[in-house]
Amino acid sequence: MTKKIGMIPGTGKQSQGIALRLAQAGYKVMIGSRSSEKAKTIVEELNTKLSVSSFYGDENKEVVKQCDILFFVVPPEYICSTLEDLGSDIKTDAIIVDVIVPLTFEAGLAYCSEDMCLDQFDYPSVSEYIQATVPEGVSVVGGFKTISAAKLNRLNHPLDVDVFLTSNSQEAKNDIKGIISKIEGLRVLDAGPLAFSRTTEQMTAFVININKLNKLKHASFRVISAAPKKQK
Ligand SMILES: NC(=O)c1ccc[n+]([C@@H]2O[C@H](COP(=O)([O-])OP(=O)(O)OC[C@H]3O[C@@H](n4cnc5c(N)ncnc54)[C@H](OP(=O)(O)O)[C@@H]3O)[C@@H](O)[C@H]2O)c1
């Protein structure tokens, strides 16, 4: 059975970028929003942009009920309330791809915030907070945190970046790798368990500052290495 992919929400800059890249790779994507009208407007825009009929949409709640793979792309300050609203409707074997980066800005520089959901946020990373909060059986995979919306939405430019996946479930990580490795120019790297999500969140603050301080555009991560070891 083909797994259904949905975006919570699919209306923001980052989620539209990921949704467009997934559709270019041949997937159908369900666009969520707090408002079904807004979801439908964005669906029309995205279908028109790629001349496809790959996008469909509804309220976030409906997306959560129908989809097996859920990209969580809400602003960090709303992840706690979003999980309160939607948590109990998430399918018990769903995979959540957490794209959220809890940034704050001080004197023009980006930092990873320690207290995104104020008193509720006692976890080292957003991914670990989500994993601890969702129903048993649901797996969280951190991903796409280090790739900017600007880069994802430049559809006529190859991505040419690495995406770092973190999860405590190797099976969930492999499932997501299988899906997103079809996106052109995206190399998928295993970045270990969810404990390393904080690292990828910090890397996002780092690359934003690198862009700003060095007047660069679209700086991003590509790990360099020697050729892979041969299997014995
Ligand atoms: N922008 C980037 O380059 C980038 C890179 C890496 C990670 N991220 C992460 O991606 C997430 C979204 O960023 P973005 O730049 O795409 O933001 P955005 O363009 O501002 O979109 C965010 C979406 O969040 C929804 N929203 C607004 N208020 C909400 C509320 N009170 N409760 C629930 N949902 C609400 C809105 O959807 P509806 O009105 O349709 O519900 C809106 O379309 C953030 O967590 C960010 O850290 C962004």
Longest dimension (CA), the chain: 56
Question: pLDDT tens digits for 19-60?
Answer: 999 999 999 999 999 999 999 999 999 999 999 999 999 999
* Position 219 in a domain: no
* Position 40 in a domain: yes
* Between 158 and 59, the higher pLDDT residue: 59
Average pLDDT rounded to a whole number, residues 149-159: 94
Phi, psi of 75 (to 5 degrees): -60, 145
Q: What is the pLDDT of residue 118?
A: 46
* Position 30 in a domain: yes
Q: Which atom of ligand 1 is nearest to the CA of 144?
A: 6
Q: What is the pTM of this model?
A: 0.96
200 in Cβ contact with 146 (< 8 Å): yes
CATH no. for residue 24? 3.40.50.720
* Position 77 in a domain: yes
Average pLDDT rounded to a whole number, residues 208-212: 96
* Position 218 in a domain: no
List ligand 1's pocket residues with C-beta within 6 A: 9, 11-15, 33-34, 38, 73-76, 78, 82, 99-101, 145, 148-149, 204
* Position 222 in a domain: no
Distance in Å, CA 230 to ligand 1 centroid = 42
Task: Say how many domains are in the chain.
Answer: 1
* Position 37 in a domain: yes
- Mutational pocket test of ligand 1: of 13, 86, 98, 164, the residue with most ligand atoms within 8 Å of the beta carbon: 13
Q: Which atom of ligand 1 is nearest to the CA of 152?
A: 3
* Position 31 in a domain: yes
Single out the residue of 164, 161, 176 nearest to residue 221, CA to CA.
161
Question: pLDDT tens digits for 180-190?
Answer: 999 999 999 99
Domain that holds residue 68: 5-213
- Model confidence at 122: pLDDT above 90: no
Q: Which atom of ligand 1 is nearest to the CA of 14?
A: 16
